Amino acid sequence: MDILIKPSSIYGNLIAPSSKSEMQRVVAAALLAKGESVITNPSFCEDSKVALKVSEKLGAKISIEKNRVIITGGLIHTSSELHFGESALALRMFAPIAGLTGKECILNGSKSLLKRPIELISESLSNFGIECFSTNNRLPISIKGKLKGNSAKIDGKISSQVLTGLLMALPCVSENSTIFVEQLNSKPYIKLTLAVFNRFGIEIESDSKLSRFKIKGNQKYIPQNYNIEGDWSNMSFMMVAAAIGGFVSIKGLNASSYQSDIQILKALESTEANIEWKNNVLEVSKNKLKEFEFDATDCPDLFPPLVALAAYCKGTSKIKGVSRLTHKESNRGMALKEEFAKLGIQIEIFDDLMLIVGGVVCGGSVDSHHDHRMAMALAIAALGANNEVIIQNAECVSKSYPDFFNDLKQLKQF
């Protein structure tokens, strides 16, 4: 599907869509809790649907209503294959949980997920009693054996999501465990993980640097009523849109959220965009934008909206953390450079640093690379362009924000 974006100012109000990151964690926790959990304000993007389907395959009974999901937990191995679509979080989180059943299982996916290396999953699971078999370090992966407690090191540089899965599954085994983490990135998401587990009655001891975790075995998840907060990742695009071309007020965001992408506020503040909280409603509006420097190592999903923002900032903006972009839905660093060049914006990459030269954004035809965050970034950048922009393969936004283009259309002022 191609989408045509005409230059436009924006003005209006939005309710933040539900956080898919929190939703997937809560779904998995509800699976492990024997009894009925109720999730209100649920996310139904493609990644969240994957988490629900995988939970059903692993034994949960799920009833979906208009604005709530009822999950009756109970881990039972009911399928020899689990399919994760394009959701890397679901794959990395549910792989250790599947290992709790002691049954052989094939983990598979589609499209971009088939291109992502799975070495981190295999190495981490093997430390805790699971044998893993794959070809060329790619999906599908076959797992065999039963998860058991151990003391082991894992690498957190590429992703924290395997750690999330281990922290979720290991309290359910009989033995105690200790995990030592080297070079952990995305620390806020581990804090989110621990907060969700704590709500479900799980206690995990960690040091202040999140480099060591002590997990007691034989713990029990307790069913909960859980309300999902708004998604900072998705709303970062709308905040940038407002900073570029108008005004938006957003309800439903948690100002104290553990989501990494709440850091968008610091980036916007450094450009001198107008930001204000009024009665728990966030307001962002246009101002003269200056170049900025930002470290996105712990929040790499902010790269696409920050590149769109930098395109409208005077001078050269610098974003650190490019190494976190290689194994996303696309190679986002190179994809951003390639597609924004088509819009007249120069981007250079030096090791872990991206430099974006602000200037005039031109019209033209660009490609999402089948990457939801690329599609949204290009759409936002198009708002202040000097001509129309056509975005190819824009349907990929359904992965995280199915209503993105509808919400953007609601805000546009022609």
CA nearest to 318, candidates 309, 328, 326: 309
Angle value at C-alpha 162, between 187 and 265, nearest 5 degrees:
30
Place of tokens 């309800």: 251
CA nearest to 369, candidates 320, 403, 331: 331
Phi, psi of 329 (to 5 degrees): -60, -30
CA nearest to 325, candidates 334, 316, 317: 334
- 155 is an active site residue: no
Strand, coil or helix: 68: strand
User: In degrees to the nearest 10, what's the CA dihedral of 383, 384, 387, 392?
Assistant: -40
Token pair recorded at residue 15: 């309710």
The one-letter amino acid at 371: D
Q: How many residues does the chain have?
A: 414
Residue of 231, 298, 301, 367 with catalytic role? 301
Alpha helices in 67-143 (DSSP H): 88-98, 119-126
Residues taking part in catalysis:
301
